[in-house]
């Protein structure tokens, strides 16, 4: 099992899409093991997006991410990072395939609704930025054997 950070960005919150997006992750079979609404501080946004410092879009991105509340989630499952990124779709809503979160709900090339960690290393770093110790739960779901084939003892 791996855990990834998902951020429902200010546009998703302001447009009232939180429930629809969260439902997609749950219906896919991924577990929400941490979740909170917050307003990201300038310092946290700068730290989170440090790899983009110096790029032309950096100031706008930090301004956007600090402009309104977001929902941050820790999402867990086998292959959760790859699955979540596939569910999100291409970065720009105008280019994202139908059936993806961005493809179904987005048209903007600036406001793209959702962030998801792009690797296990990034997920670990990002989860540590947004969640304190004890805020990401160990969740023993009764449905796990219906989400994954557990016949070998490990989820497939």
| Sign, CA torsion 83/101/63/7 | negative
Write out the two tokens for 126.
């990002």
Q: How big is the chain by its Cα radius of gyration, in Å?
A: 16
Using DSSP, state whether 32 is helix, strand or coil.
strand
Specify whether 52 is catalytic.
no
- Which entry of 9, 48, 102, 115 is annotated as an active-site residue? 115
Write out the two tokens for 46.
């700068």
Q: Which residues are catalytic?
A: 115
């Amino acid at each position: 099992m791996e855990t990834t950070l998902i951020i429902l960005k200010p546009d998703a919150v302001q447009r009232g899409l939180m429930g629809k997006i969260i439902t997609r992750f749950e219906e896919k079979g991924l577990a929400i093991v941490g979740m909170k609404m917050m307003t990201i501080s300038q310092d946290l946004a700068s730290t989170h997006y440090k790899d983009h410092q110096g790029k032309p879009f950096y100031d706008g991105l930090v301004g956007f991410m600090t402009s309104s509340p977001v929902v941050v989630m820790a999402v867990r499952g086998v292959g959760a990072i790859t699955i979540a990124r596939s569910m999100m779709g291409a970065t720009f809503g105008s280019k994202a395939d139908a059936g993806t979160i961005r493809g179904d709900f987005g048209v903007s090339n600036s406001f793209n609704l959702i962030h998801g960690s792009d690797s296990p290393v990034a997920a670990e770093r990002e989860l540590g930025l947004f969640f304190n110790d004890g805020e990401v739960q160990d969740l023993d779901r009764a449905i796990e054997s219906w989400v994954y084939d557990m016949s070998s003892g490990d989820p497939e």
